[in-house]
Amino acid sequence: IFLGTGSSILSALQDLFWLSKSKVEKQLQIISVLQWVLTFLIMGVACTLILMYILCTDCWAIAALYLAWLVFDWNTPKKGGRRSQWVRNWAIWRYFRDYFPIRLVKTHNLLTTRNYIFGYHPHGIMGLGAFCNFSTEATGVSQKFPGIRPYLATLAGNFRMPILRDYLMSGGICPVNRDSIDYILSKNGSGNAIIIVVGGAAESLNCTPGKNSVTLKNRKGFVKLALRHGADLVPVYSFGENEVYKQVIFEEGSWGRWVQKKFQKHIGFAPCIFHGRGLFSSNTWGLLPYSKPITTVVGEPITIPKIDNPSQKEVDFYHSIYVDSLIKLFDKYKSKFGLPETEVLEVN
């Protein structure tokens, strides 16, 4: 009798232990995602204000030294940045990955003797899949593509923000401007892969759960860059990127869309009105994304010739090949990742 009772108590304690462990892991996942969301939304402004405040205190010398370093280091983001394998391998990114979860799917090998431009679609609200897959090692990008150095390109304005710029560079993130991309593709050897979220801010304005659309028809600058450097183009589609946030979509011609487009034109990003789940409950509204799976599929590279001054006809030709490849990639994997066979990728 006592043996049976003891076994029952032990079993109950083991159940309680494992339940507790799973709860702790879930909380760590939430914390890891929350810190990234806050980084995305406020870190740049917060660090700037803190630096200005320190300049007005007795510790002004610390801020002055950092500003002097900032001037000296100003062009580093344009020259490949300063990535840190230690930061890219932080355990926090594995919790970040498991929250959704996020997966990276490789379909073809990439030669280390070539350079690449990955076109990432869709943008979503924050490009969570792009960050996790290519700015951290959480999904094993370096193991899946050995010898390839990924550089996620983002708004150049982020690199004018103190502290934030260093944090971004540590993950291998670079400015999405011509100087930075030219340097990586021409003066940094081979085996480089620049990930460009082609749809940008314009695409983020239309992302909503259940919608698979990309802004691509008139986005040809990345193709021209690929031709100028002879960098192969690789279509990438992230299934589930649009599912993690709900957004208020303003119709064309409305005052809300007008404000968003003005911001997009003059500042480079479009303010979206969106929400996810709350910090303590998935049934309340908040800044945390919904825990929906994101699966990023890296397609087959398109061989691109090196043409110093490509004509519009040549750009259009390779752009059309790229669009066709992206649609084929979407169609091949859509049913595998939860979409019906009838789903069509909308190309705007």
Asked whether the predicted pLDDT for residue 279 surpasses 90, the reply is: no
pLDDT tens readout for residues 165-189? 999 999 999 999 999 999 999 998 9
Neighbours of 162 (CB within 10 A): 17
- Residue 257 resides in a domain: yes
pLDDT digits (tens, 9 = 90+) for 187-205: 989 999 999 999 988 888 8
Q: Looking at residues 260-267, what average pLDDT do you find?
A: 74
Q: Is residue 17 part of a domain?
A: no
Domain residue limits at 179: 33-347
Q: Is residue 6 part of a domain?
A: no
Structure-block tokens of residue 339: 């979409």
| Residue 105: per-residue pLDDT | 98
- Residue 73 resides in a domain: yes
Structural domain total, the chain: 1
What mean pLDDT comes out for the span 233-262? 87
Checking if the pLDDT of 72 tops 60, the result is yes
Whether 120 contacts 130, CB under 8 Å = yes
pTM for the whole thing?
0.89
Residue 121 lies in a domain: yes
Q: What is the pLDDT of residues 204-225, one digit of tens each?
A: 888 889 999 999 999 999 999 9
Assigned domain for 321 exists: yes
Structure tokens of 39? 């980084």
Give the relative orientation of helices 312-333 and 221-229 as an angle to the nearest 10 degrees.
110
Q: What is residue 19's predicted lDDT score, i.e. its pLDDT?
A: 58
- For residue 218, being part of any structural domain is answered with yes
Q: Look at the alpha carbons of 143, 145, 147, 153 in this order and tell me if their dihedral is positive or negative.
A: negative
Phi then psi dihedrals of residue 254, to 5 deg: -80, 160
